[in-house]
Structure 1
Amino acid sequence: MLMFLIALAVIYLLPGPDMILLLQTGARHGRALALSTALGLGIARACHVLLAAVGLATLFKTAPWTFDGVRLLGAAYLLWLGVRMLKPGMLTTLQLSTGPTLEPALTWTSALRRGVLTNLLNPKALLFCSVLLPQFINSQAGAVGAQFLGLGVVLVAVGLMFDSLYAVTGAWLGQWLNSSPRAQRVQQWLFGSLLIGFALRLAFVQQA
């Protein structure tokens, strides 16, 4: 279990679209909506664990077109998010006295949905679950299904812990950016460009 936790920590500390989305949501929309996004990411990871358990990763291996379809759909979604962040006037000015100004279009349900879709449409996340979890299952230690479920719960819980940290960090970053309009614009372009970069990488990556 210790080795499993270390492996998860290494994975969750690596920069990726999930982390960027959480930091951007926290910085521009506040802690509550960022935590809603984190919850959406947790739901998506639970779905990935379930899908890995029923063998969808095997389908990706035997029918590469299914992997490519999900990959391109995920890339298109990340590209759409990144472009929205770069649109002039998309982000409103933060007001320190009242907290981050919420965009009318972003509610807790839409923030939750963004988290679910960002992770669920990333086939690499499913392959990660299907490759990592079996490495820590011992067929001699009891029911394999129960072990898979237990490790999946730990994977989701640890992910929520890291994602909550990133959400809170993003909210703190938003308060700091409030005093500098130039820093807000840099943050807007940085996060938007990173998501577009992740979209392009996902679009042109080859199945392992």
Structure 2
Amino acid sequence: MIPTNELLVFALASLVMVLSPGPNMIYLISRSLSQGKQAGIISLFGVISGFIFHILMVSFGLTAIFFAVPYAFIIVKFLGVCYLLYLAYSTLRSGRKNIFDGDSTLKKDKPIKLFNIGLLTNVLNPKMALFYLSFFPQFIKPEHGSILSQSFQLGIIQIIISFCINLLIVISAAKMAIWFSKNPIWIRVQKWFMASVLTGLAVKIAFAKAK
């Protein structure tokens, strides 16, 4: 089992990541603004199902790689550090002015279509697979037991945090859009905070001593 202090760090990192603007968040906000809270919630369940798909793929993939390739764990961790630094750079370079500037003119779709679009938006996003493949190994250590069970443990935490935060965003989309439009400075604060946390996490992992 992963130690509690490591799980807390992972939870904090997951919280920062879910607050980072991306296709999933933009889609949920757009649906909530154009079709209401119910549509946003249905879309959210589709997005969460996409997370489950990625977590299953990455969990079994990491288990296979670590057992099949010598030193694969160290290599993946190094690539993860590089990817986290890239995410930090991309966050600062992002030109998006307001994360709530979603398309509020989308046509109204039936529940099954809302769910499917949310699912496909997540499943077909290659950045999500790359994120999990580079992010999970930073908190998985062979000495803590089964790599597969550790991956599932992290996945459950990430899904719970993502669901809670995105549900709050869906429910409060309209009010939050108005607030951010009146306080644009917080958009820049969010970007720098996100980049700082990602960089700090990358540095922590890079200088961590191997056991």
Q: Same fold by TM (over 0.5)?
A: yes
CA 1:6–1:140: 2 relative to 1, 3 Å: same
How much does 1:53 deviate?
2.1
- CA distance 1:112–1:172, change in 2 (3 Å): farther
TM normalised by structure 1 equals: 0.58
Report the CA distance shift for 1:86/1:28 in structure 2 as closer, same or farther (over 3 A).
Answer: closer
Tell me whether 1:161 sits opposite 2:164 in the alignment.
Answer: yes
State the aligned residue count: 134
Task: Name the counterpart of 2:131.
Answer: 128
For the pair 1:118 / 2:121, whether they are aligned, the reply is yes
Opposite residue 139 of structure 2, the aligned amino acid is F
Whole-angstrom CA distance in 2 between matches of 1:27 and 1:86: 5
C-alpha contact (below 8 Å) 2:18/2:165 kept by paired residues: yes
Please state if 1:36 is matched with 2:42. yes
Q: Secondary structure at the match of 1:159?
A: helix
Q: Which runs of 5+ in 1 are unaligned?
A: 59-84, 92-102, 177-208
In the other structure, the counterpart of 1:5 is: 11
Percent identity, please. 28
Q: CA RMSD in A?
A: 2.4
**1:62-77 aligned within 5 A:** none
Give 1:18's aligned residue.
24
- 1:52-75 Cα deviation digits (max 9, x unpaired): 12339x8xxxxxxxxxxxxxxxxx
Distance 2:153 2:147 in 1: 10
Q: Indicate the residue corresponding to 2:194 in structure 1.
A: none
Unpaired segments ≥5 residues, structure 2: 1-6, 66-102, 179-211
* Shift >6 Å, 4+ stretches: none
Task: Indicate conservation of the 8 Å contact 2:31/2:104, yes or no.
Answer: no
Describe the superposition over 1:27-48 as per-residue Cα deviations: whole angstroms up to 9, x where unpaired. Answer: 1111111011111110001100
Query: Structure 1 161/86 Cα, relative in aligned 2: closer, same or farther at 3 Å?
Result: closer
- Mapped to 1, the partners of 2:36 and 2:158 lie a distance apart of 26
Q: Distance in 2 between matches of 1:135 and 1:107?
A: 40
Shift of 1:117: 0.7
Distance between the aligned counterparts of 1:40 and 1:30, measured in 2?
16
